Structure 1
């Protein structure tokens, strides 16, 4: 199961052959500005394996997003997260710097939102965002989310939660 292609993007499963592209994405200090640190190549390999487990267990995870001609844009998709002791479905997205500020994260996140509404028995979709990450918050708001709470899960830095009913 995959979200439908959009006007500019297509989705596909992430796999080991994506290690180089994903390492460039998740190892980029600008992309990972609001994470504790950019990911190492080994951490990216674990990220890909985690998504493979998500595909096997749930039928979805974070997918590679690319143009219809195959240009790598980043990743976007759905993962289960613990927020304040409650398991909730999150839409997440990362876009390589040269493709940012073109509405592609919004386009991909909206396709994931529509996928949830059409294919899954889930009534809420969230985004978990660092409070200073205005670009990511803007994407969540554009697909219909609103800020609902702070994530105060032990051991995590402060994050805001945006939510919507699907």
Structure 2
């Protein structure tokens, strides 16, 4: 039987499953003005809603997906979790603009990757070369540049954990 991965608690955060009620903060996290050009950027509320429904279904089917990051006071900070990828799950994280610079992305990603590594062994990530902040988070949580690329996109750098 699959181990329950959620909720995940850190000293300041709760990482939990996404719900339909999260649509507005999810869109705020993923829209072009605040997403920083992330791969899963969403230009409309309808796109964000489809993305959210897909993540909810993915969690139900697989037991993992991308999840909500909240402060202990229930402020929606952003997103962090795993997406199915070959050969192993890929960690993704995105912090809403007003919460950036507080270490929340690193704290959430570290908690997720530690639990994910127990479950799956290896975890991967791809990050745009221009996304310096996300590369810094990947390095802080113990990811290293992979010799094997996980995407054909030359603008993406591949990382692996452990």
For residues 15-34 of structure 1, the aligned pairs below 5 Å read 15-34=19-38
TM-score after normalising by structure 2: 0.88
Structure richer in strand, relative to its length: 1
Q: Deviations over 1:8-58 (max 9, x none)?
A: 100111111111111111114232424485431111111111111211121
Aligned partners of 2:73 and 2:91: how far apart in 1? 24
Number of residue pairs matched by the alignment = 157
TM-score after normalising by structure 1: 0.86
Q: Which runs of 5+ in 1 are unaligned?
A: none
From the superposition, tell whether residues 56 and 36 of structure 1 become closer, same or farther in structure 2 (CA, over 3 Å).
closer
Deviates more, 1:56-65 or 1:25-34: 25-34
From the superposition, tell whether residues 54 and 98 of structure 1 become closer, same or farther in structure 2 (CA, over 3 Å).
same
Q: Which runs of 5+ in 2 are unaligned?
A: none
Q: Deviations over 1:83-115 (max 9, x none)?
A: xxx432111111011111111101000110121
Q: CA RMSD in A?
A: 1.8
From the superposition, tell whether residues 87 and 42 of structure 1 become closer, same or farther in structure 2 (CA, over 3 Å).
farther
